[in-house]
Chains A and B, each alone.
Chain A
Amino acid sequence: MPSSTPDSTVGEPIIEVDSLVRHFGTQKVLDGVSFKVHAGDTFVIMGGSGCGKSTLLRHLIGTEKPTSGSIKIFGQEITTMRAEALQKLRGRYGMLFQSGALLQSLTVAENVALPLIEHTQLDAGLIDTVVKMKLEQVGLTGHGHKKPSEISGGMKKRAALARALALDPPLVFSDEPTAGLDPIMTAVVDELTQRLTQKIGATVVVVTHDMNSVFRIGTRIIMLGTGPNQGRIIAQGTPEEIKAHPHPAVQQFINGDPEGGADDSGELLYRETLLGSNETGRYSRSAILSKS
């Protein structure tokens, strides 16, 4: 039933999020988020720092439970799922964390090998070959023997991406895969992401700040708001629709314009930067010094 939903682009829905709400204390980090991700999509989540992108991803992978709302992955409701069923489902997706989250006690190669050792019956030689191949794909040939503490932030990111792709999962989540990478590596990682959807037919959900990446790889895009629109989707659509989107905050984000349009949050942010104050009050030199 690919054509039964108006916003279907490629195939059946892989992820369906409905009225997702999440509070941390009194802070509403997600406030009624709804969207669908279809098979073969490269679904981009963009938005300002702290707007809840990583939190949204955490809910999608089931490590955080929402305050209310529903999340279906591969047609299964995960918000109420029991641990064992959730674990089965997790064999079908990979996740690249914002910090990489490589296991510090293992080498880079061991990190990439881990999902293969745990979830396949491959023999050691074959695992070695796969690991080499995955490391090569992310440009880390020759770094497999190093500990995560011995490589740079960008390299960690790429190693973590290799680990997330180790089992060739049909669904991949990726939290700022290109943050901290140089332009060439950014292009390499973007190309890898594109190859996932185009060659393997995987579905990818990417959080990114990088506007070049967004329009290079995205097939559908949502933007989360900040300030008064915190936790809500302020724009969604195809790259063309987003480029032409009338919402001032969207245009401001795309153009990297600090003044932006008439949007309150942008205006506020701008003034705060100039005046050195934020919503919690003025920055005071003595207050900061007295804390340390």
Chain B
Amino acid sequence: MIVALRQYFALCGDLLYWLFAAPFRGKPWRIGHTFAQIVRIGVHAVPMSALTALTIGVVLAMQSAAQLAKLGATVYVPGLVSSSLIRELAPLVTAVIVIGRSGSSVTAELGTMKVSEEIEALEVMAIPPMSWLIVPRFLAMVIMMPLLTVFSIYVGLAGGWLISHYSLHMSTAFYVSHALQYVELRDVGIGLLKSGVFGVLVVTIACSIGLNVSGGAEGVGLATTRSVVVSLLSVFIANAVLTALFFF
């Protein structure tokens, strides 16, 4: 535990250097690698995020409609859907999807490279693994997590619209205007800030655990599980802390 924490903070320190100092010392970010990772980490997670966000939007609308109908206040359904999605659910659910799909694969990939001596080989070829492997994954994650979250918000809103339009018989214009009425720019900012924080947590945890794998193929399997568990816990805790921060 203490060793793992030390490894984690060592990685974060290195990462800061390679993100912000190294580019000014003639070691620029590797844009090509970053694009490849954007596709792997971000684009490939789109279908699953979409499906999940859609179901969440639908369920939110149905659940709130069931409650609000008792008060004859179903006009508030669009606002409820949009504000829950933007501030809470879209960032969190997207993070969960990305952990399961991309965080785990980052850990498995780096862990495999570690046990097959590929990381050491990079070092010996004087190609720093931080620059070759870690920075591209970090950038890709920090770019794609907020983008995926925005995308999830739209898809989730579409899910809410399905119920509002076909079951509650709202017009599309009514749904959109009411959905936006209760959303402030601040909410969007908080949602995106959360997703950015989640992205940083997920990718640094995945990389740290992956780079420190030992014990062959079995070790890689264990590390992948650990990466998912630790990332999920960290994201849920961070979410609570951030929500509390903006609540008070």
Q: Which residues of A contact B113 (CB under 8 A)?
A: 103-104
Is B43 an interface residue when CB atoms closer than 8 A count as contact?
A: no
Is B125 an interface residue when CB atoms closer than 8 A count as contact?
A: yes
- Chain A residues 168-210 with CB under 8 Å of chain B are none
Q: Which of B116, B117, B120: most chain A CB closer than 10 A?
A: B117
Is A91 an interface residue when CB atoms closer than 8 A count as contact?
A: yes
A83 to chain B: closest residue by CB: B128
Q: A118-B126, A118-B127 are in contact. Are A95 and B116 (CB under 8 A)?
A: no
A91 to chain B: closest residue by CB: B126
Q: How far is the CA of A90 from the CA of B127 in the complex (A)?
A: 10
Q: Are B126 and A103 in contact (CB under 8 A)?
A: no
Is B240 an interface residue when CB atoms closer than 8 A count as contact?
A: no
How many of A's residues come within 8 Å of B, CB to CB? Answer: 23
Q: Which of B112, B118, B121 contacts A95 (CB 8 A)?
A: B121
Q: A63-B123, A90-B123 are in contact. Are A101 and B117 (CB under 8 A)?
A: yes
Q: Which of B112, B113, B116, B121: most chain A CB closer than 10 A?
A: B121
Provide the B109-150 mask, 1 if CB < 8 A to any CB of A, else 0: 000110011101111111110000000000000000000000
Provide the A80-105 mask, 1 if CB < 8 A to any CB of B, else 0: 00000001101101110111011110
Provide the B59-95 mask, 1 if CB < 8 A to any CB of A, else 0: 0000000000000000000000000000000000000
Is A115 an interface residue when CB atoms closer than 8 A count as contact?
A: yes
Rounded to whole Å, the gap between the CB of A25 and the closest CB of chain B is 12
Rounded to whole Å, the gap between the CB of B222 and the closest CB of chain A is 15
Provide the B97-118 mask, 1 if CB < 8 A to any CB of A, else 0: 0000000000000001100111
Rounded to whole Å, the gap between the CB of A110 and the closest CB of chain B is 13
- Chain A residues 97-141 with CB under 8 Å of chain B are 97-99, 101-104, 114-115, 118-119
Q: Which of B112, B116, B117, B125 contacts A90 (CB 8 A)?
A: B125
Number of A-B residue pairs having CB atoms within 8 Å of each other in the complex: 48
Q: How far is the CA of A257 from the CA of B124 in the complex (A)?
A: 37
Query: Residues of A at under 8 Å CB distance from B?
Result: 58, 61, 63, 87-88, 90-91, 93-95, 97-99, 101-104, 114-115, 118-119, 160, 163
Q: How far is the CA of A87 from the CA of B125 in the complex (A)?
A: 8
Q: How far is the CA of A99 from the CA of B217 in the complex (A)?
A: 14
Q: List 28 A-B contacts (CB under 8 A).
A: A61-B124, A63-B123, A63-B124, A87-B126, A88-B126, A90-B123, A90-B124, A90-B125, A90-B126, A91-B126, A94-B124, A95-B121, A95-B124, A97-B120, A97-B121, A99-B117, A101-B116, A101-B117, A101-B121, A102-B118, A103-B118, A104-B112, A104-B113, A104-B118, A114-B125, A114-B127, A115-B127, A160-B121
Q: How far is the CA of A102 from the CA of B117 in the complex (A)?
A: 8
Q: Which residues of B contact A99 (CB under 8 A)?
A: 116-117
User: Nearest 3 pairs between A and B by C-beta?
Assistant: A101-B117, A101-B121, A90-B126
Q: How far is the CA of A102 from the CA of B131 in the complex (A)?
A: 18
Rounded to whole Å, the gap between the CB of A168 and the closest CB of chain B is 14
Q: How far is the CA of A23 from the CA of B118 in the complex (A)?
A: 24
Q: Which residues of A contact B126 (CB under 8 A)?
A: 87-88, 90-91, 118-119
Rounded to whole Å, the gap between the CB of B47 and the closest CB of chain A is 23
Q: How far is the CA of A63 from the CA of B116 in the complex (A)?
A: 14
